[in-house]
Amino acid sequence: MDIKIIVGTLAGILTSISSVPQIVKVIRDKKAQAISPVMFFVLLAGNLGWTYYGTLLTDWPIICTNAFAAMLDVCMIILNYKYNKM
Amino acid sequence: MDIKIIVGTLAGILTSISSVPQIVKVIRDKKAQAISPVMFFVLLAGNLGWTYYGTLLTDWPIICTNAFAAMLDVCMIILNYKYNKM
């Protein structure tokens, strides 16, 4: 298998799942005061941009990893809104 | 200019600078308790992976945006360590 495909897929998986530990921490601690919602709005815009880029190239790994990341960003924005003032 | 280059560049800039509002917020509030350091370690690994992917393709936009993002991840890890227990 091509080293580029391996490196690109691994890097894509890592950047896509990076929000998971943050989501788990917020749900567990029920605290989100220190988290910047702006960060996740910018990430959401970026991940949706990459998803669109993937559709332009018909590149399914780009589409799937970024659509998944965008979904996590939306979760994080909702959690931030829910726990920010508690 | 090709629409793919515009969309890819915009998405790359957005995902790269997404940590900036979080870094600004932590420096301003001097609080990082709710932030998951694991998130930024995973992001750092992913961004370094993308930087390596960029060197394999000799693609400077991929190299520059991800090396910059990796630098921001390191800043965020240091800030998290500094302000997590204060």
Range(s) of the domain holding residue A29: 3-83
Q: Does residue A82 surpass a pLDDT of 70?
A: yes
Mean pLDDT of B66-86: 90
A75 has pLDDT over 60:
yes
pLDDT digits (tens, 9 = 90+) for B8-67: 889 999 999 999 999 999 999 998 988 999 999 999 999 999 999 999 989 888 899 999
* Dist. CA B44–CA A11, nearest whole Å: 10
Instruction: Give the mean pLDDT of chain A.
Output: 91
What total number of domains does chain A contain? 1
Q: Where are the alpha helices (DSSP H) in chain B?
A: 3-17, 19-29, 37-57, 60-83
- Of residues B77 and A5, the one with the higher pLDDT is B77
Span between the terminal Cα atoms of chain A, in Å:
50
Cα separation, A1 vs A9, in Å, equals 12
By CA distance, what is A26's nearest residue in B?
A: B34
CATH of the domain at B13: 1.20.1280.290
Residue-level pLDDT at B85 = 66
Return the pLDDT at B13.
93
| A46–B18 CB contact, under 8 Å | yes
Provide the H-helix boundaries in A1-86.
3-17, 19-29, 37-57, 60-83
Residues 32-61 in B contacting A (C-alpha not used; CB under 8 Å): 32-36, 38-40, 42-43, 45-50, 52-53, 56-57
ipTM of the complex: 0.87
Chain A closest-CA separation from residue B63 CA (Å): 13
Half-sphere exposure of A4 (CA within 13 A, CB side): 6
State how far residue A30 is from chain B, nearest Cα, in angstroms: 9
Q: Tell me how crowded residue B51 is: count the other CB atoms within 10 A of its CB.
A: 20
pLDDT digits 0-9 by tens, A20-46: 999 999 999 998 988 999 999 999 999
- What's the pLDDT band for A85 if we cut at 50, 70, 90? low
Enumerate residues 6+ apart whose C-beta is below 8 A from A4. Answer: B53, B56, B57
Q: What is the pLDDT of residue A60?
A: 86
